[in-house]
Amino acid sequence: MIRLRPLKKCDLKPMIDWFENRLEFMQWCAGKFEYPLTIEQLHEYYDRSENDIDAWIMIAMDTEGNPVGHFLMRKADYINNSIHIGFIVIDKNHRGKGYGRELVDSALKYAFEILKVNRVTLGVFENNASAHSCYLSAGFVDENFN
């Protein structure tokens, strides 16, 4: 079981070690960070989010309160009742336990029940089959933007 809460700066340091390799890292950040990830980059990310009224970072914790996952909610659009979820990652040491699906389910529950939006979007690279499968199983559908 995971729990969600807003991310705090003290949650950032463990995230540095959550990636197996450069490809996995790039699938997560889409070039928005430089490899390898550093605490300085994460502090800048945190500060940008703190200054963006339409974005906030969430942390997923295990039953003992340890950070095991992360995502960003951004592009909150209260006129069109939509939000975008991004930068979804599970600590490499906690994958394969269902945390990814549980994180996505919890994020959707938060979006629909707390924020009262009607639409949640996210992006995923074509070469990230496991994430794509997770999102489809959570109810997302593929859209063609061509």
User: Which pLDDT tens digit goes with each residue over 4-22?
Assistant: 999 999 999 999 999 999 9
User: Do the domain assignments include residue 115?
Assistant: yes
Q: What's the pLDDT at 144?
A: 78
Strands 67-77 and 119-122: unpaired
Residue 76 lies in a domain: yes
Q: What is the CATH number of the domain that holds 108?
A: 3.40.630.30
Q: Tell me, yes or no, whether 146 lies in a domain.
A: no
Q: Is residue 63 part of a domain?
A: yes
Say how many domains are in the chain.
1
Indicate the pLDDT class of residue 47, thresholds 50, 70 and 90: very high
Percent of the chain with pLDDT over 70: 99
Which residues, other chains included, contact 109 with Cβ-Cβ below 8 Å and sequence gap of 6+?
none
Residue 142 lies in a domain: no
User: What pLDDT sits at residue 42?
Assistant: 98
Domain that residue 130 falls in: 3-137
Q: Is residue 99 part of a domain?
A: yes
Q: Is residue 118 part of a domain?
A: yes
Q: Is the pLDDT of residue 35 over 80?
A: yes
145 within a domain of the structure (yes/no): no
Q: Is the pLDDT of residue 51 over 70?
A: yes
Per-residue pLDDT of 79-132, as tens digits, reads: 999 999 999 999 999 999 999 999 999 999 999 999 999 999 999 999 999 999
pLDDT at residue 145, as a whole number: 66
